Structure 1
Amino acid sequence: MRVIALLPEAIILATAAVLPLGRRLVPERRELNWLAPLAVLAALLLELWLGAPVGSLFSGGWLQDRFSLFGKAALLLGLLVFVVVDREPEAWPDLEAFAFLAVFGGMVAVSAPTLVGLWAGLELAALAGVAASGFSSRTAASELLLVSATAGGLLALGFAFLYALAGTTSLAGLRLGLAHRQLALPLALIVLLVLSGLALRLALAALAGNGGRKADTRGQAVPAALLSAVALLVAAKLLPSLAAATIVWAPWLAVLSAAAMLLGGLRAAALSRPERQAVWLALGQVGWVGAALASPQQRGTAAALFLLGCLLFAWVGAALLARLEPSALAGLSSRDPLRAAGLGLALLSLAGAPPLGGFFGEFAVAAELIRSNLGWVLAAGLLGWIAGLYGVIRTLARSYLEAAPEPPRRGPRPASVWTVSALLPAVLVLGYGLFAFPIHSLASQGAAALGLR
Structure 2
Amino acid sequence: MPEPAFPSIALGPLLPTLFVLGAAGLVLLLDLLPRRSGKEHLAAVGLAGVVGGLLATLWRWGSNGRAFHDMIVLDGLALFANVVICYAAALVILLSVDYLGRAGAESGEYYALVLFATAGMMLLAAAGDLIVVFLALELMSLSLYVLAGLFKSPLAAGEASMKYFLLGAFASSFMLYGIALVYGATGATNLERVGAAAAAQGHAPLLAIGLGLLLVGFGFKTSFVPFHMWAPDVYQGAPTSVTALIATGSKAAAFAALIRVLVVALRSAQADWTVLLWAVAVVTMTLGNVVAIAQSNLKRMLAYSSIAHAGYMLVGLVAGGAPGAGAVLFYLLAYAFTTVGTFGVITLCTRAGQEAVEVADYAGLARRHPVLAATLGLFLLSLVGIPPLAGFVGKFYLFAAAVRAGYVWLAVIGVLNSAVAAYYYLRVIVYMYMREPDASPTAWAPSFSGGLALVIALIGIVLLGVIPAPFADLAQAAVAPLLR
TM-score w.r.t. the length of structure 1 is: 0.89
Could you say which residue in structure 1 is the equivalent of 2:344? 320
Q: Which structure 2 residues correspond to residues 128-167 of structure 1 after superposition, within 5 A?
A: 128-136=143-151, 137-167=157-187
Q: Within the alignment, does 1:447 sit opposite 2:462 as a pair?
A: no
Q: Within the alignment, does 1:102 sit opposite 2:125 as a pair?
A: no
Which sits farther off after the overlay, 215-224 or 360-369? 215-224
Q: Which of 78, 99, 116 is the equivalent residue of 2:88?
A: 78
Q: Which structure 2 residues correspond to residues 186-335 of structure 1 after superposition, within 5 A?
A: 186-203=206-223, 207-211=230-234, 216-220=239-243, 222-240=245-263, 241-323=265-347, 324=349, 325=356, 326=358, 327-335=360-368
Matched-pair contact (CA < 8 Å) for 2:161–2:238:
no
Could you say which residue in structure 2 is the equivalent of 1:174? 194
SS at 1:56's partner residue?
strand
Deviation at 1:187? 3.4
Deviation at 1:27? 5.6
Identical positions, percent: 26
Instruction: Give the letter aligned to residue 159 of structure 1.
Output: I
Deviation at 1:406? 6.3
SS at 2:128's partner residue?
coil
Matched-pair contact (CA < 8 Å) for 2:126–2:257:
no
Inter-partner Cα distance in structure 1 for 2:251 and 2:444? 39
Cα-Cα RMSD: 2.8
User: CA deviation digits over 1:146-193, x for unaligned, max 9?
Assistant: 211111111111122222222322222222221122224433333222
Matched-pair contact (CA < 8 Å) for 2:72–2:129:
no
Listed as ranges, the gaps of 5+ residues in structure 1 are 409-413
Could you say which residue in structure 2 is the equivalent of 1:15? 23
Matched-pair contact (CA < 8 Å) for 2:259–2:325:
yes
Q: Which structure 2 residues correspond to residues 410-429 of structure 1 after superposition, within 5 A?
A: 420-421=451-452, 422-429=454-461
Instruction: Give the letter aligned to residue 134 of structure 2.
Output: W
Could you say which residue in structure 2 is the equivalent of 1:350? 383
User: CA deviation digits over 1:220-258, x for unaligned, max 9?
Assistant: 453354322222111111101212222332222221111
SS at 1:168's partner residue?
coil
SS at 2:249's partner residue?
helix
Aligned CA distance change for structure 1 residues 72 and 215 (closer, same or farther; 3 Å): closer
User: CA deviation digits over 1:400-451, x for unaligned, max 9?
Assistant: 333444689xxxxx9995862322221111122233111111111222232x
Inter-partner Cα distance in structure 1 for 2:444 and 2:161? 39
Deviation at 1:288? 0.9
Q: How many residues align?
A: 447
Instruction: Give the letter aligned to residue 99 of structure 2.
Output: E
Matched-pair contact (CA < 8 Å) for 1:340–1:399:
yes
Deviation at 1:23? 4.5
Instruction: Give the letter aligned to residue 202 of structure 1.
Output: T
SS at 1:63's partner residue?
strand
Matched-pair contact (CA < 8 Å) for 2:364–2:436:
yes
Could you say which residue in structure 1 is the equivalent of 2:353? none
Instruction: Give the letter aligned to residue 468 of structure 2.
Output: A
Listed as ranges, the gaps of 5+ residues in structure 2 are 1-8, 152-156, 350-355
Could you say which residue in structure 2 is the equivalent of 1:340? 373
Inter-partner Cα distance in structure 1 for 2:284 and 2:36? 43
Matched-pair contact (CA < 8 Å) for 1:209–1:224:
no
Inter-partner Cα distance in structure 1 for 2:71 and 2:234? 39
User: CA deviation digits over 1:1-25, x for unaligned, max 9?
Assistant: 9635533212211222333553564
Inter-partner Cα distance in structure 2 for 1:338 and 1:113? 45
Inter-partner Cα distance in structure 2 for 1:402 and 1:394? 11
Matched-pair contact (CA < 8 Å) for 2:12–2:65:
no
SS at 1:271's partner residue?
coil
Could you say which residue in structure 2 is the equivalent of 1:430? 462
TM-score w.r.t. the length of structure 2 is: 0.84
